[in-house]
């Protein structure tokens, strides 16, 4: 279920800013935690930015236009692929959507039937080797939005969280592809990153994002919104200019 808070604005606002900054079409999109095309959001107590941008009639920022174009609301909130499709068009979207919930898989299959988007009813952890890999000259957004970041556990289930050993998996996957394309971008969003007691998940996430960027030789920026336990997103690219453009869009979204 969509959480219905400012974490949605963080994730979807930045994803659409990435798509705009990439510019090239068609766009390859890989979503590791897709959700249904639309879901109901519980009414949250901390959603100032989300309510604001859902209810403005403006062409900018990009996510506000996409909300309007998709008739988004707290009761019918679109996922990443719906919002991106509103920006680039169904015909210019390619890629792979991972989902493990049977009802959501069915809804995604119905939505993307006869399009060049493949719904993969399995965990991203087992399915990355099967996805469509664009050429280094193509546009690609690889995006992840697990629930939160946790420390490694030897008996952990294949769940909706992210762990340091998943970062190892991502490093191996992208390193094996060879050259990272100029129009490829990775985005990773984690929510409610607790600073304690016990493991400081916020610090752990930031450190692991730094490790990912360094291992792949990429520039990266981090964006966050917080009322206590932060929602945080990291974006990885070869281009400083692209990251600066995304930062400008996020500043507009954040400063309301």
Domain range for 227 is: 6-254
Block mean pLDDT (10 aa), the chain, length 256: 74 98 96 96 74 89 96 95 98 97 97 97 94 96 94 73 95 97 97 86 96 98 89 97 96 91
> How far is 112 from 52, CA to CA, in rounded Å?
30
pLDDT tens for 42-87 read 776 666 888 899 999 888 899 999 999 999 999 999 999 999 999 9
Q: Is residue 1 part of a domain?
A: no
**Residue 228: per-residue pLDDT:** 79
Please indicate, yes or no, if residue 134 is contained in any of the structural domains: yes
What CATH number corresponds to the domain at position 152? Answer: 3.40.50.150
Residue 210 lies in a domain: yes
- Asked, for residue 28, whether it belongs to a domain, the answer is yes
**Is 223 a domain residue?**
yes
Number of structural domains in the chain: 1
Q: What is the pTM of this model?
A: 0.95
* Closest C-alpha to 245, from 212, 213, 218, 223: 223
- pLDDT value for 58: 86
Confidence at residue 4, expressed as pLDDT on a 0 to 100 scale: 52
Which runs of consecutive H residues, i.e. helices, occur in 25-143?
48-54, 62-69, 80-88, 102-112, 124-127
59 within a domain of the structure (yes/no):
yes
Helix (H, G, I), strand (E, B) or coil at 219: strand
């Amino acid at each position: 279920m969509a959480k219905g808070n400012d974490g949605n604005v963080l994730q979807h606002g930045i994803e659409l800013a990435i798509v705009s900054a990439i510019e090239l079409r068609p766009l390859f999109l890989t979503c590791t935690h897709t959700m249904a095309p639309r879901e109901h959001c519980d009414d949250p107590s901390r959603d100032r930015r989300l309510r604001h941008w859902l209810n403005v009639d403006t062409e900018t920022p990009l996510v506000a236009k996409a909300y309007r174009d998709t008739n988004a609301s707290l009761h019918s909130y679109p996922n990443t692929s719906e919002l991106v499709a509103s920006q680039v068009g169904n015909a210019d979207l390619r890629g792979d959507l991972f989902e493990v919930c049977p009802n959501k898989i069915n809804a995604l299959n119905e939505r993307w039937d006869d399009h060049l988007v493949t719904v993969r009813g399995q965990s991203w952890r087992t399915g990355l080797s099967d996805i469509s890999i664009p050429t280094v000259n193509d546009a690609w957004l690889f995006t992840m939005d697990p629930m939160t970041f946790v420390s490694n556990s030897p008996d952990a289930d294949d769940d909706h969280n992210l762990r340091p050993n998943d970062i190892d998996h991502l490093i191996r996957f992208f390193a094996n592809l060879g050259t990272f394309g100029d129009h490829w971008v990775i985005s990773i969003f984690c929510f409610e990153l607790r600073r304690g007691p016990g493991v400081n998940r916020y610090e752990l996430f930031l450190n692991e994002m730094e490790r990912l960027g360094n291992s792949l030789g990429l520039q990266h920026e981090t964006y966050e919104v917080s009322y206590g336990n932060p929602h945080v997103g990291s974006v990885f690219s070869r281009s400083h200019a692209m990251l600066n453009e995304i930062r400008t869009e996020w500043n507009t979204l954040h400063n309301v």
